[in-house]
Amino acid sequence: MKLGLNGKNVIITGGSAGIGYACAKGLISEGANLIIVGRDKEKLGNASTSLKEIAQGNQIFTISQDLTDSIAAERIAKKAILKLGKIDILINNAGSARAGSFWKLTDQHFIDAWNLKLLGYIRMIKEVGSHMKDQGHGRILNIIGTGGKTPSPTFLPGGTANAALLNFTKGISNELAESGIRINSISPGVTATDRAEHLAKQKAEVKGITFEEQIEIDTASNPLGRMVEPEEIASMALLLVSDLISSITGADIVIDNGKQPGF
Ligand SMILES: NC(=O)c1ccc[n+]([C@@H]2O[C@H](COP(=O)([O-])OP(=O)(O)OC[C@H]3O[C@@H](n4cnc5c(N)ncnc54)[C@H](OP(=O)(O)O)[C@@H]3O)[C@@H](O)[C@H]2O)c1
């Protein structure tokens, strides 16, 4: 398949690890120019060095910003446009939420999850989307999560952020379409990243079981009996931000080994 991503300019939040890094690798191999965003400068530097090894003249820049800061999105958009001139694609991916028993979670756990993932994605869409509106085209992809449609009692801060993001993605898609901008989302199930390990440890603690037992539950409880690999999410991400299926917008694609019980 020819994805036509050569020379496209892309911002990936959380591009230094996990799913975001897998998307970065895929896009670099396709000849895109990248801005990867994260907080930890060393992690960003290491990711950038590895990505440069597979680049073929395409550019990679890093921006260190904490997306819980309400003006981070504005700073990222300004810097990105300064470095690359225009932005064709935005992948919103930086997110993390505390798992745990509802009775032990505080308001702050919910506020932190909503501030980083829900408001972080919305702020990036406002800043980068207004630039895309002016140029009359753009592609946005939100990495959400199956907890948005299939809630779990031990993942409520993240699940509620994801549910709101599904609503937002569909809600804004018609308006963005008027400006030639498509927006879609991917909802991964448990995916083999550092974050999945942290979550498994937190869930194991709530249930009083070992980390290994929680991983066994996570994998055995889905029909295909395995974890999703970050590269699988990246393959779908590349397809959705390409123009290969240019009639898809406002859609959510679930990649979860068949675990989600309904639509
Ligand atoms: N893995 C799963 O099982 C799974 C399942 C469903 C949905 N998801 C979603 O997929 C997305 C990626 O998850 P992942 O598993 O790939 O996570 P990960 O391996 O922990 O990577 C997270 C990335 O986001 C960056 N990041 C975290 N907090 C940030 C902040 N406040 N500001 C800026 N950057 C930040 C991290 O870099 P720094 O730490 O340096 O900031 C890193 O680059 C998340 O939105 C997550 O909710 C994951």
What the chain holds in terms of domains, given with CATH numbers, is 9-255 (3.40.50.720)
Ligand 1 centroid–CA 101 distance in Å is 21
**CA distance linking residue 49 with residue 55, whole number of Å:** 10
- Atom from ligand 1 closest to the CA of residue 195: 20
Please state which of the ranges 31-35, 110-114, 167-171, 199-203 shows the lowest mean pLDDT: 199-203
Contact 148, 169 (CB under 8 A): no
For residue range 102-131, what is the model confidence (pLDDT) as tens digits? 999 999 999 999 999 999 999 999 999 999
Give me the helix-helix angle, 72-84 and 120-135, nearest 10°. 40
Q: Is the pLDDT of residue 210 over 90?
A: yes
133's tokens: 């509106």
pLDDT of residue 221: 84
Q: ∠ CA 82-85-87 to the nearest 5 degrees?
A: 105
63 lines ligand 1 (CB under 6 A): no
- Atom from ligand 1 closest to the CA of residue 92: 45
Please state which of the ranges 9-23, 156-170, 173-187, 188-202 shows the lowest mean pLDDT: 188-202
* Residue to probe by mutation, ligand 1, list 67, 71, 93, 198, most atoms within 8 Å of CB: 93
CB within 8 A of 56, min separation 6: which ones? 31
**CA distance linking residue 56 with residue 52, whole number of Å:** 8
| Across 149-178, average pLDDT | 97
For residue range 179-209, what is the model confidence (pLDDT) as tens digits? 999 999 999 999 999 989 988 998 899 889 9
Q: Would you call 74 exposed, middle or buried from its count of C-beta atoms within 10 A (0-12, 13-18, 19+)?
A: middle
Identify which of 130, 228, 132, 224 has the alpha carbon closest to the alpha carbon of residue 181: 132
For residue range 57-110, what is the model confidence (pLDDT) as tens digits? 999 999 999 999 999 999 999 999 999 999 999 999 999 998 889 999 999 999
131's tokens: 């630039």
Contact 138, 180 (CB under 8 A): yes
- Atom from ligand 1 closest to the CA of residue 96: 47
Closest-CA residue, ligand 1 atom 45, reads 95
* Residue to probe by mutation, ligand 1, list 13, 23, 37, 39, most atoms within 8 Å of CB: 39
Identify which of 94, 92, 93, 89 has the alpha carbon closest to the alpha carbon of residue 182: 89
